Amino acid sequence: LSSSTTFRLLATLTNHNYVERQEQSGEYSLGLACLELARAYHASNTIRRAALPHLQKLRDKTLETVHLAVLDKLEVVYLEKLHGLHAIGLMTSRVGGRLPSHCTGLGKALLAYVNPQEVREYFGQHGLTGYTGTTIRDLDELMAHLEQIRHRGYAFDHGEHEAEVCCVAVPLFDFDDRAVAALSVSGPRERLDPIEDRLDLIETARQAARDISARLGYNLSE
C-alpha cells in the first residue's frame, strides 16, 4: 500500500480505537477496541460451548428448532441454530445473523433484563418497526411487556417477526447474575399455537436454560 493510503487506513482505525499511535515513536499498536472484540468473542464462545450439549438434548426432546443468541447493540445475534426434526418451512434465522430484538422471543427475553432507560432511549431513536400484525409498535406497551417477561422468566414470539413462526425463549444467566444469552424453541404456528398452552415445551426449555446457566456459574439457589 502507498504511504498515503496506509495513513488514511490507520487514521480510521485510530478513530475507532482499533489502533493507538505512540506519540514519541510514531509507531502504532493495537487499541482497546481489539480487547473488546476479544472479550466479546471469548464470552460468546464460552456460552456456546457450555450450551451446545443441552441445546442438542432440547432439540431431540422437543423435535423443534432450537436457537442460542446474544444481544449486541440491542440487536439479536445468533450463536447457534439446531434445525428441528419436524418438517418446517422457511425460517430466516442463521448463525451470525442479526434480527431486531423487539419482535423476537430471544430479543425480548434479553431486553427484559436491560436497563429500562437504555431500552427506551434505543427504541425512541430507532423506532419499533412492524413486521407482522402481532408486532408490538408502541413503546409503552413494549416496556410493560418486558416487565411481564422479567416477572415470569420467559418470553413468547407470536409470529411477531415471521407471521407463521412461534417460539418460547428463556434467558441464560452467568456467575454475575447477568442475562448473557437466551435460548429458544421455535416452530410453525400451526403446530405450536397457542404457545402459552404448551406447558411441557415451556418447562423443557426452562430446564435447559437452568442447566446451561448452572454451567455458566449461576447460583440457582439465590
Predicted confidence (pLDDT) per residue in 174-218, tens digit: 999 999 999 999 999 989 989 999 999 999 999 999 999 999 999
pTM beyond 0.85? no
Rounded average pLDDT over 9-16: 92
DSSP 134-173: T----HHHHHHHHHHHHHHT-EEEESSSSTTEEEEEEEEE
Confidence of residue 37 (pLDDT cuts 50, 70, 90): confident
Q: How does pLDDT run across 80-118, given as a tens digit for each residue?
A: 999 998 766 667 888 888 999 999 999 999 999 999 999
Please, are residues 75 and 103 in contact by the beta-carbon 8 Å criterion?
Answer: no
Query: So what's the pLDDT on residue 45?
Result: 80
* HSE-CB for 1 with a 13 A CA cutoff: 8
pLDDT 10s digits, 143-164: 999 999 999 999 999 999 999 9
Question: What percent of the chain stands above pLDDT 70?
Answer: 95
